[in-house]
Amino acid sequence: MNKIHTSERGGFSQERLGRLSRILQGFVVRGEMAGMVALIHRHGEEAHVETVGWQDQEGQLPMRRDTIFRIASMTKPVVAAAVLTLVEEGKIRLYDPVDAWLPELARRMVMRDPDGSPEDVYPSPRAITLHDLLTYRMGLGWGKSSLSARIFSLTTGPVADALQVPDLEHLTPDEWMARIGEFPLLYEPGTRWLYHVPAEILGVLITRITGQSLETFLRERIFNPLGMVDTSFSVVPEKRNRLATLYAPAPEGGLTIRDHAHSTGWAEPPLFQSGGGGLVSTVDDFQCFGRMLLNKGELNGIRVLSRKTVEAMTTDYLTPEQHGYPIGNFERYDADRSAMWNNWGFGYGVAVRTRRIGLGPSVGSFYWPGAFGTTWIVDPQEDMVATLLPQILGANPFYTQVGEDFLAMTYQAIAD
């Protein structure tokens, strides 16, 4: 049920990595999780890989290294990187208004009070730019407002079904954009960080600039160059025996199934390929993406992004005032239990560590987690990429105990 493959590589202590193994195994033994896969690269080599527990607890299928996971919001950094390839080609500029491709966002009105009437509005002082979308500061998204329930009901793809979003509608990208265009902005562009909606719009933007489906574009620009052979918006029949069961904590204790390989919502290509949360992937696939970013845009001799583009992607753009705002409707954000932006900033689709706390990560590290417990970290100071893939729906996508423990046990094992 627990397989460990490790050696004295990457500057880690093998004995101390054993602590990581015991901690991860404990989550399975206590019944808090069915299973997970962990993978760490450091100094350019694989330092540790571990499979824990069950891919399917009821069917007693052991977790495998090539198990496929729903990575939810870990989709967001991938889509941000894909958009940046279009910037590098001159197809769109970072500070271009997006009106030409997204006319639904043109001539926006702004609510005078985000908690007030959507009829009490004034004209936006400027257009929404690509930079606004990439930094999630377009003025519309998840967060406390009088429109929050209506905005949340537009969550897309099978991830919305797994989250059991109320009043859910299944819309095409164009239908979805038309609905988004009916909302006033909650804030002026550039002034507040609001979650999720900008990432979905980035996916639509890619399709309108390129004339390709989002999956086709991601496959050409990201997946194929990096060898991400199992990353997609759906799971084809011949791979379905590798799809992990998605669980949620049961009210009476234990785990309850939210999505199973036999009846998965990821069986067919979705009506809306969600740039905010639709991808499935494996630990090796996503580690390739992280290693590409650690290597400043290149992996195995193939360049996806320039060094300067990766530096731009992993720069904190939040203003001092924006660092003081709450992240949204979530209560637990970071290891010190304070507001997330105390210790993190935000670049293009990734959070960027701005202050060192505890055992790590180092300042300049970056990541973005998923609502089904998945997480990863790129730490340039330590020359390290670490990915952890469980499959459980938690109360807070920005914090899980297993994710925090994974980081602590990884950093305490560094011995060089």
Query: Cβ(223)–Cβ(230) under 8 Å?
Result: no
| Torsion 39-43-44-46 (CA) sign | negative
**pLDDT of 272 over the 60 cut:** yes
Q: How confident is the model at residue 253 (pLDDT cuts 50, 70, 90)?
A: confident
The string of pLDDT tens digits covering residues 313-329 is 999 999 999 998 877 65
Mean pLDDT, residues 110-133 taken together: 98
Calculate the alpha carbon distances from 149 to 142, 153, 155 in Å: 9, 6, 10
Which helix (H) or strand (E) segment holds residue 46: the answer is strand 45-56
Pair 361, 353: CB distance under 8 Å? yes
According to DSSP, residue 237 is labeled G
For residues 242-251, average pLDDT: 95
Residue 3: the pLDDT is: 57
Q: pLDDT tens digits, residue range 185-207?
A: 999 999 999 999 999 999 999 99
| Angle, CA 260 vertex, CA 257 and CA 262 arms, to 5° | 140
Rounded CA-CA distance 73/53 in Å is 24
Q: What is the pLDDT of residue 328?
A: 64
Note the pLDDT of residue 370. 95
- Asked whether the predicted pLDDT for residue 333 surpasses 60, the reply is no
Q: What is the set of domains in the chain, with CATH numbers?
A: 2-74+226-412 (3.40.710.10), 79-210 (3.40.710.10)
Q: How far is residue 64's CA from residue 286's CA, in Å, rounded to a whole number?
A: 15
Mean pLDDT of 366-389: 97
Closest by Cα among 279, 264, 173 to 219: 279
Q: Is the peptide bond before 361 cis (omega within 30 degrees of 0)?
A: yes
Is the distance from CB of 132 to CB of 190 less than 8 angstroms?
yes
What are the residues whose beta carbons fall under 8 Å from the beta carbon of 91, sequence distance 6 or more?
A: 209, 210
* End-to-end Cα, the chain, rounded Å: 31
Token reading at 405: 């423990």
- Count CB neighbours of 292 within 10 A: 25
State the pTM of this model. Answer: 0.95
**Could you give the CA distance from residue 210 to residue 86 in angstroms, rounded to a whole number?**
9
Taking Cα atoms as reference points, which of 236, 194, 243, 246 lies closest to residue 215? 236
93/100 Cα distance (integer angstroms): 12
Quick check: 127 pLDDT over 60? yes
pLDDT of residue 360: 83
Q: What is the mean pLDDT of the chain?
A: 93
**Residue 332 above 80 pLDDT?**
no
R_g over Cα of the chain:
20
Residue 325, pLDDT score:
85
Tokens 């790590």 appear where?
Answer: 360
The confidence score (pLDDT) of residue 339 equals: 66
- Least confident interval from 109-123, 288-302, 333-347: 333-347
